[in-house]
Amino acid sequence: MSGNLPSAARIVSITEENVRVKTLVLNARAQAQPGQFAMVWLPGADEKPFSIVDDHPLTFTIARVGPFTQQVHALNVGDRLWWRGPFGRGFEIVEGNGAHLLIGGGYGAAPLAFLARRLRAAGRQVITIIGAKTKAELLLEARFAAMGCTIIAATEDGSAGMRGLATDVARDVAHRERVATVYACGPEGMLAAVERLCAELHLPGQVSREGYMRCGLGVCGSCHHGPWLVCRDGPVFTVG
Amino acid sequence: MSLDLSVDLCGIRLPNPLVLASGILGTSAPLLERVARCGAGAVTTKSCGPAPRAGHPNPTVIDWGGGLINAVGLPNPGVEAEVEIIATALEQLAPLGVPLIASIFAETVAGFAAVAERISTANPDLIEVNISCPNVTAEFGRPFALDPASAAQVTAAVRAATTLPIIVKLSPNVTDIVAIARAVEDAGADAIAAINTLGPGMVIDVESGRPILANRVGGVSGPAIRPIAVRCVYDICAAVSVPVVGIGGVTCGRDAVEMLMAGATAVGVGSAVYQGGPEVFGHIRDELAGWMQAHDYASLSEFRGIAHER
């Protein structure tokens, strides 16, 4: 009868990843798959879903995009944050020859870092394309590099890495390398492009979607995407 | 032996007695269709009011251990947009033979009538009149379902506003639910749905000392409230002649049998979707059918209400 109430955890470290994004490490552990999420609660403020960026210790990478994330960014080491989860369907590590191609657009690179860690621990070859509008918004390059992933940065304004969209870079990579599976997280437009790319090149793909979530439990229907619930059937969906 | 799970609810045929309860998954036509394909005998849309509403801030739904507690706060796109959702859903449901119940709410008696009139243009199979949401008292005042006279007033106003069959959804949070059931029957309800969530209740986070729900209080649902739901349905069925949709904590075939034995014509399923997903409808339906076969029942009417005779 313990249910799944939010539990309190203390922040043990905070890293500024870029101008808008911080990584918070908590003194808590979860049993999570990459791509799963937790509902993060600040009593008196709000509760929102965030991808689990590591489960041991529990880690979130949070972009400052509104009043709630502003409050989270104002927290210090030693402050508490509440969470419940993990929820949803995460990435499935698929067997297959070739590189595992990760495509992260904007804040979408965050959940892929957890996936990359698992893939590298399993000895897989990982190519990560990190896309952003501009250099200052590129996310977690060093983290992916430290894991031994091949990193390709892509910026829309050409201020760092290749100029262009992450999905265009992915198409080039897929033409010259053997790719086992494509895993992507990012804005809807990018995910649609990833779906087209997977269909075109006959590649299996998994995309992590965002949804407007309330309950996180698969009952309220707020995060519907066609007949699916992002919180329960996703956030990771198979494509291709 | 052929098994007939079908139900006649106010002249509408349900292929089986399991109804998707309002407030669960009823937010879009594709979702409603999916629930029907998963095995629901009827689906209820998320309650819709006169105008778009954002609902309460999060946290809105928590698993407290014996079920759920929620204060979602009736978010909905407003009746104009809901009419479109219902029209699309009806098209998708028609080939499946699964009827649609349009759930409505409003802050005033006149508001109920107006929403009922507008929603009727979409031609849902039935209308559920939700007078019992416990989570909007700060804005709306006491739910109409707490008092026989105001429950009857809303029922009469909706009765006058539509020719479609109307189901009035009652609250268990009253001293005498039978008096309210009689009042809405006399006011023209074609059916009664019972029960809405219990309480309101409260769950406090003991680390921060704060109630977890942003609304502080919320309606309690799930297995913990099933015995109360069964008693309410039993009492109402003994007192009125209109059909009753029994709702509250049903998670398996055995629970559905229990609700039918209390006298329910159909059985609502809501919080069970949390553990079982939309697929829970097929599981409960198959367990119900299996139980009937094991007990040599060919139709639901053979054991409906038998608890009243024993």
**Per the domain annotation, does B232 fall within a domain?**
yes
The answer to whether residue B212 is domain-embedded is yes
Q: Is residue A100 within 8 Å of residue A183, measured between CB atoms?
A: yes
- What is the token pair recorded at B26? 């009823």
Q: How far is A230 from chain B (nearest CA, A)?
A: 12
> 0.80 cut: is pTM over it?
yes
Question: Is residue B38 among the annotated active site residues?
Answer: no
Which of B38, B48, B133, B237 is catalytic? The answer is: B133
Q: Do A219 and B28 touch (CB under 8 A)?
A: no
**pLDDT given at position B1:** 58
Based on the structure, what is the number of domains in chain B?
1
- Domains of chain A (ranges, CATH numbers): 7-87 (2.40.30.10), 99-210 (3.40.50.80)
Closest C-alpha among A126, A128, A113 to residue A60: A113
Q: What is the CATH number of the domain that holds B156?
A: 3.20.20.70
Question: Alpha-carbon distance A50 to A63, whole Å?
Answer: 10
Which H or E run contains A14? strand A7-18
How much is the average pLDDT of A224-232?
Answer: 96
Identify whether B2 is part of a domain.
Answer: no
Domain with B183, as residue range(s), is 7-308
Residue range A96-108, pLDDT digits in tens: 889 999 999 999 9
Please check the confidence at residue A46 and state whether its pLDDT lies above 70. yes
Domain assignment present for residue B128? The answer is: yes
pLDDT at position B2 is: 81
Q: Which residue of A has its CA nearest to B273?
A: A219
Does residue B1 lie within any of the structural domains? no
Please check whether residue B207 lies inside any domain of the structure: yes
Q: Is residue B287 left, alpha or beta, with left meaning phi > 0 and alpha meaning psi from -120 to 50?
A: alpha
Nearest CA in chain A to B29: A227
Task: Tell me the shortest Cα–Cα distance from A225 to chain B, in angstroms.
Answer: 9
In a domain, residue B135? The reply is yes
Q: Which residues of chain B have pLDDT under 50?
A: none
Please report the pLDDT score of residue B54 as a whole number.
94
pLDDT value at A182 more than 80: yes
| Interface residues on B facing A, Cβ-Cβ cutoff 8 A | 23-28, 30-31, 33-34, 46, 55, 57-66, 68, 70, 72, 75, 203, 205, 207-208, 210, 212, 214, 270-271, 273-274, 277
